Chain A
Amino acid sequence: MYSNAINLLAILILISSFILIANKRQNAYISTFRFQSLLLALVSLLVSVRSMLSNKKFDEVIIIFCLIVLFKVVIIPIVLKRTSKKVEYTVEKDFFINIPVSMLICCGLVVLCWHVIYSIEGINNSDTRNYLIYSMSVVMLGLFFMISRKKAIGQIVGFLVIENGMFLAAMLTTEGMPMFVELGLFFDLLTAVLIMGIFVFKINDTFDSIDINKLKNLKG
């Protein structure tokens, strides 16, 4: 039952990254990221409740659950929404690769992850292997999302999705990392997003657009 639920949540996280790749609007990127973070929070809640029930003592992972809800579901999406409101783009019109083809490429990436992780010897627990496959695929999809979007907001969301994937891998294979590592990661992430948001403003000011292709132009 437990492993079924975790498997389901991990697959839903993977599907939410597919939905992200099919999206065209900046607000939709941010809502999808919020949804994905909510699923991630649910995973950490399940992990912590299970370990609390089996060990009969307090588990730190529940604090991580609260932190995910606070940072990734509330603060970061609000910061991103504010950033995207101030720059005028709402719809991405031109992609490097159109959506059906990029969906197929992503499908290939999932198969690749599956193949690579199956060929690693020494992973004996089949559940751990599944979780690794899902979370590695989320990381790969985040990378692909970053390179397939031209607008800077898309790149920030891609970065956050990569981080979500790594977090999922850490959470599911180790049943929660030490508290200090997690705290450090969260503050790192928050400052990264704030700095990137400021960068987006600056790029928008200087080039009148957040299209990263325009960064190649010379500016006197």
Chain B
Amino acid sequence: MIVSVLKLLVQIMLILIIAPFFTGVIKKLKSKFQHKIGLSVFQPYYNLIKLCKKDLVVSSVTSWIYNVAPYIYFMTSLFAVLCLPVVHQLIGPAYFTDLLVIVYLLVAGRIFMALAGLDTGSAFGGMGSSREMLVSALVEPALFVIIITVSSRTGIASTNVSSIYEYTLSHTEAAFSPINLLLFASMLMILIAESSRIPVDDPSTHLELTMVHEAMVLEYSGRHLAFIEMGTHIKQLVFMTFMANILIPIGFNIENIFIGLGIYILKILAITVLVALVEINTVKLRLYSIPNFAAIAFIISVLGFLTCFILK
């Protein structure tokens, strides 16, 4: 019991410490590729500290939803990443969790953010909420096909996280099979859409007509905004962890926990390099082209699903 609680605490501390770092790495890489010096990789931490020191400005017309939404968003993201251990030694508390729970925890957080965007009554908030829910709905089929494929491989067709981890532990060579590569490509597109990155949404713009996620949280300030940003960093890490541990399980079965963690962080860094490369090589899509983007992600995941049966 105590060991389980300890594992949980270790995982929480780890996630809170490393999550903003990867956002900083993506920004730094982007600047490097454009021959700029760029901000420090620890800039997201400074931002969070600065936001926590600032005062809250809350509009007088908002209801309770506006005040609780940042905390719910943060907590659901944190719970989602707790369900998906970063190394297999920390799996103890995640025995009863399920991949579908992770998806719906993220959706719950997103729904509260969308409601909060509507709550202020500003035109941008409503527009941002509607677009955010559209993107979420469009990439969900691809995500589900990936989950079904990953779980149907285990033999007992269970979406339980621990059974998928056990299968992955005994099949680490599957990292180079066509199935995993297809699922990886599809998951990368989902990661880009869900963490509001460039072909779908531009995280650094505040231009009226192009912003999606930023429009939704435009009214937030101070501590609330810090929680929202932390939630976004963590949500990005959920998808990256899924990719690093289940889709490219190289070195996943190493017994030493510290070496395992090192390999995990290296894999996440490799994924951030990919994301940064996509960001500098593409331009933001028009809103009406996002269904095409989602359709391609869906098709690639369906091909992975078919291949899973063909290659048996």
A and B form one complex: yes
A residues neighboring B (CB under 8 Å): 4, 7-8, 11, 14-15, 18-19, 22, 99-100, 103-104, 106-107, 110-111, 114, 129-130, 133
Q: Do B303 and A110 touch across chains, with their CB atoms under 8 A apart? A: yes
Q: A7-B311, A8-B181, A100-B291 are in contact. Are A106 and B299 (CB under 8 A)?
A: yes
Contacts of A110 in B (CB 8 A): 303, 306
Contacts of A103 in B (CB 8 A): 292, 295-296, 298-299
**Separation of A18 and B298 alpha carbons in the complex (Å):** 12
Given contacts A14-B303, A100-B295, 13 further A-B contacts (CB under 8 A): A4-B176, A11-B307, A15-B182, A18-B299, A18-B300, A22-B296, A100-B294, A103-B298, A104-B295, A106-B299, A107-B303, A110-B306, A114-B306
Cβ of A51 to closest chain B Cβ, rounded Å = 22
| 21 A-B pairs whose Cβ atoms sit less than 8 Å apart in the complex | A4-B176, A4-B178, A7-B178, A11-B182, A14-B303, A15-B182, A15-B300, A18-B299, A18-B300, A22-B296, A99-B295, A100-B291, A100-B292, A100-B294, A100-B295, A103-B296, A103-B299, A104-B299, A106-B299, A107-B302, A129-B310
Given A4-B178, A11-B178, A130-B311: A107 and B292 interface contact (C-beta under 8 Å): no
- A103–B299 Cα distance when bound, in Å, is 7
| Chain A residues within an 8 Å CB radius of B176 | 4
Which A-chain residue is minimally distant from B185 (CB atoms)?
A15
Question: B265-312: which have CB < 8 Å to A?
Answer: 291-292, 294-296, 298-300, 302-303, 306-307, 310-311
Q: Are B310 and A133 in contact, CB atoms less than 8 angstroms apart? A: yes
- Residues of the A chain whose Cβ atoms lie less than 8 Å from the Cβ of B302: 107
Bound Cα distance from A15 to B301, whole angstroms: 11
**B positions within 8 Å CB-CB of A:** 176-178, 181-182, 291-292, 294-296, 298-300, 302-303, 306-307, 310-311
Q: How far is the CA of A11 from the CA of B179 in the complex (A)?
A: 10
Q: Is the CB of A111 within 8 A of B306?
A: yes
Q: How far is the CA of A114 from the CA of B312 in the complex (A)?
A: 13
Alpha-carbon separation in the docked complex, A110 to B306 (Å):
9
**Interface Cβ pair total, 8 Å cutoff:** 49
Specify which of A4, A107, A130 is in contact with B299 (CB 8 Å cutoff). Answer: A107
The CA-CA distance from A4 to B292 in the complex, in Å, is 30
Contacting A11 at CB < 8 Å: which of B295, B296, B298, B303? B303
Residues of A within 8 A of B307 (CB): 11
- For residue A15, which residues in chain B have a CB less than 8 angstroms away from its CB? 182, 300, 303
Contact A99–B303 (Cβ < 8 Å): no
Q: Which residue of B lies closest to A6 (CB)?
A: B178
A21 to chain B, nearest CB (A): 9
Residue of B nearest to A14 (CB): B303
Residue in B closest to A8 when the chains form the complex, CB atoms:
B178
Q: How far is the CB of A43 from chain B (nearest CB, A)?
A: 14
Task: Say yes or no: B177 contacts A4, CB within 8 Å.
Answer: yes
Give A129 to B312 CA distance when docked, in angstroms. 12
Query: Which of A8, A22, A107, A114 is B310 in contact with, Cβ under 8 Å?
Result: A114
Q: How far apart are the CA atoms of A107 and B177 in the complex, in Å? A: 21
* Complex-state Cα separation, A14 to B181, whole angstroms: 14
In this complex, the member of B300, B302, B310 whose beta carbon has the largest number of chain A beta carbons within 10 angstroms is B310
